[in-house]
Structure 1
Amino acid sequence: MLLLRPARMSDLAEVQRLASESPLGVTSLPNDAGRLRDKIVASEASFGAEVSFNGEESYFFVLEETDSGQLAGCSGIIASAGYSEPFYSFRNETFVHNSRQLNIQNKIHVLSLCHDLTGNSLLTSFHVDHGLAGAAGAELNSRGRLLFMADHPERFADAVVVEIIGQSDEQGQSPFWNAVGRNFFDMSYAEAERLGGMRSRAYLAELMPHYPIYVPLLSDEAQDAMGLVHPRAQVSFDILMREGFETDHYIDIFDGGPTVHARVSGIRSIAHSHEVAFAVGKTSGERAFLIANGRLQDFRATIATLDWMPGAPLVMPADVAELLELRTGESVRLVSV
């Protein structure tokens, strides 16, 4: 069975394996033991902290295959984007140039560097093993953390953003970076992303152009790449779209990938989830559900096939209750897959 739970220090070696397999551009998952150790330490402190509003906390989850004990994926949440360093994006805008004498009006697409999304909660560090891409495990890895947000709303902002990896090739060449960022840094896209993962993207962003960039002046390849999703990020992107996230307003300043956002109240796994009491017993199992135990440090989530409808009692197999470490009298939060 698959189990989503908070990462712990004993996971470090497996987490680094996942990081080494993740695509270029996931700077929140650097292939560096020291940075990953710090990530897990910060996550453990966040899960253990008493919190009444979103601040500097970061939560890191791992997807465990319980039969083997190996990790099959990971994902995270940053409570407040831009809390410790600026959170930059390019905002898609339209400038109107008008000449009354010539009776000409032009609408020009521009990109403006901004930190509009600072303060929103940020979903990060998504990665699943290739065999789980497009399967229920990817749903659990992405949406299970949303159930955590639903059970602990005081820890997060009223809106959520996600940076999706943009286009680059196997040689680490990004059309958008080559047209924009490379003019300000003497390094390739691959080098910039590795440096951002090892240190910080914020100081690189501070050297990007702070004046509007006129999109028609960029190469056709760069324009075509704006808002496009890397093939290895398509599964994550599709899940977020089904959850109600919106695109078109912001793109990543490095590779031009879409930065999607949503109000928490409009996210499907949060708005349509149910908190219900359960009983252990046999069930025919007709529909797949994401189920979370609602706890904090001992948070657990999994996928199970159940026979349940809203308003009806929830009957759960004993092995699922045991996996979630549930006790008699507790409730669970669930939403259909």
Structure 2
Amino acid sequence: MKPLALLLRPVASADLPALERIAAASAHGIGSLPSDRDKLSARIARSIEAFASQDAASGEETYLFVLEDREAGRVVGCSGIAASAGFHDRFYSYRNEFVVHASAPLGISQRMHTLHLCHDLTGYTLLTSFYIEPAYEQGLAPQLLSRARLLFIEQFIERFNDRIAAESPGLANEAGQSPFWDAVGRRFFNMDYPQAEALTGGRSKAYIADLMPHSPVYVALLPEDAQWAIGQLHPVGELPFAILQAEGFDADTYIDIFDGGPTVEASLAMLRSIRHARTLPLRAGAVTLGLSAWHLVATTGREDFRAVLAQLPPAAKELSPGHEAAARLGLAEGARLRVTPVDSQADQGGR
């Protein structure tokens, strides 16, 4: 995999076969893309409409990006954004809390871990649908696939919430059975975890939460395997979760009501990619001197949004239209680029 061959762009109708392949490759009960051609076609159509719409955003929009290896001539990953979690209804999570039970006569005080059903994250913008082929998991490709979405949100913040969340898949076996769901959710529903998860489509969980107990769940009363599953990751979630943690997302407060996987959340302005982002105009005669470092480089259009990886001097204030990144993005003099460093060392200086 060559970093300069990678391009992140909005999904197109011609990407349907690639998304079918991705949906089929996703772990059972984990992937947010349905293994159904008609549903995938509808998902693509909604994304195309969201990118193209000139109307004021409603919050119902979903955006889907694909990562293309232009040298290999194939799509190798996807990632998405849901503008507003629970747009049609409340978006439920469990919130981790601790309560103290004490008896003065007995001299006993117990700090108990509890889970409280809440819809705190309703209306947050959700990062969704991350998938990358195993051959591309090493190196910079996952960074481009995950983090370029943040530059898109920042560029068109009027269409999104400035609070961002992302769910990560919790522990489940190859058949899709989840110890947390079996101990909690399944008690109230006669269905397996994959069936319940598939019904939500990743946007609202109100129909599940309406039948769940609204009193706190005392973790100590759950089976040991369910206790262990709280906040734990399915192996397929480790890579995107690590990227989000490095960005500055908090993973300690919320968990998914299905499988107990961690749900991260943060303020957009506090994320590393946004704090270190800068705008570079393309100007004839611009000279870029100094040692170069890997950056995410994104265009500033919505319908024709593109993002690539490029090596730029960290102190660059402008770029020549002849720079290879501008050429790969098809931009000319007068255009502007939004760039942010990939290297995590950016946090250690130059703020």
TM-score over 0.5 (shorter chain): yes
Matches within 5 A, 1:99-138: 99-138=103-142
CA 1:25–1:322 in structure 2 vs 1: closer, same or farther (change >3 Å)? farther
Match of 2:348 in 1: none
Match of 1:224 in 2: 228
Match of 1:329 in 2: 334
Query: How far apart, in 2, do the equivalents of 1:225 and 1:277 lie?
Result: 48
Contact kept, 8 Å, 2:314 with 2:341, in 1: the verdict is: no
CA 1:51–1:95 in structure 2 vs 1: closer, same or farther (change >3 Å)? farther
Match of 1:293 in 2: 299
Match of 1:37 in 2: 41
Match of 2:195 in 1: 191
DSSP 3-state at the match of 1:161: strand
Match of 1:179 in 2: 183
User: Do residues 59 (structure 1) and 63 (structure 2) align?
Assistant: yes
Matches within 5 A, 1:139-178: 139-178=143-182
Contact kept, 8 Å, 2:321 with 2:327, in 1: the verdict is: no
Task: Give the letter aligned to residue 73 of structure 2.
Answer: G
DSSP 3-state at the match of 1:30: coil
Task: Give the letter aligned to residue 143 of structure 1.
Answer: R
DSSP 3-state at the match of 1:314: coil
* Percent identity (aligned): 46
DSSP 3-state at the match of 1:234: helix
Query: How far apart, in 1, do the equivalents of 2:120 and 2:194 lie?
Result: 26
Contact kept, 8 Å, 1:166 with 1:229, in 2: the verdict is: yes
The count of aligned residue pairs is 336
1:133-157 Cα deviation digits (max 9, x unpaired): 1321111100011111121121111
Query: How far apart, in 2, do the equivalents of 1:16 and 1:86 lie?
Result: 29
Query: How far apart, in 2, do the equivalents of 1:23 and 1:91 lie?
Result: 26
Task: Give the letter aligned to residue 299 of structure 2.
Answer: N
CA 1:179–1:317 in structure 2 vs 1: closer, same or farther (change >3 Å)? farther
Match of 1:71 in 2: 75
1:264-290 Cα deviation digits (max 9, x unpaired): 110111121110113589979732110
Alpha-carbon distance, 1:15 to partner: 1.0
Kindly report the root-mean-square deviation, in angstroms, between the aligned alpha carbons of the 2 structures: 2.3
Alpha-carbon distance, 1:183 to partner: 1.2
CA 1:283–1:274 in structure 2 vs 1: closer, same or farther (change >3 Å)? closer
Contact kept, 8 Å, 1:43 with 1:57, in 2: the verdict is: yes
Alpha-carbon distance, 1:21 to partner: 1.1
Contact kept, 8 Å, 1:4 with 1:64, in 2: the verdict is: yes
Match of 2:308 in 1: 302
Contact kept, 8 Å, 1:35 with 1:198, in 2: the verdict is: no
Alpha-carbon distance, 1:202 to partner: 3.9
DSSP 3-state at the match of 2:302: coil
1:114-151 Cα deviation digits (max 9, x unpaired): 10000111100111111111321111100011111121
Alpha-carbon distance, 1:27 to partner: 5.1
Alpha-carbon distance, 1:198 to partner: 10
User: Do residues 15 (structure 1) and 24 (structure 2) align?
Assistant: no
Structure 1: unaligned runs, 5 residues or longer = none
DSSP 3-state at the match of 1:192: helix
Moved more, 280-289 or 144-153: 280-289
Query: How far apart, in 2, do the equivalents of 1:126 and 1:198 lie?
Result: 12
Task: Give the letter aligned to residue 332 of structure 1.
Answer: L
Contact kept, 8 Å, 1:46 with 1:57, in 2: the verdict is: yes
CA 1:244–1:76 in structure 2 vs 1: closer, same or farther (change >3 Å)? same
Query: How far apart, in 2, do the equivalents of 1:161 and 1:222 lie?
Result: 24
Query: How far apart, in 2, do the equivalents of 1:9 and 1:41 lie?
Result: 7
1:176-209 Cα deviation digits (max 9, x unpaired): 1121112122232233334444997542333222
1:55-90 Cα deviation digits (max 9, x unpaired): 222111111111233111111111111111321100
Query: How far apart, in 2, do the equivalents of 1:71 and 1:254 lie?
Result: 30
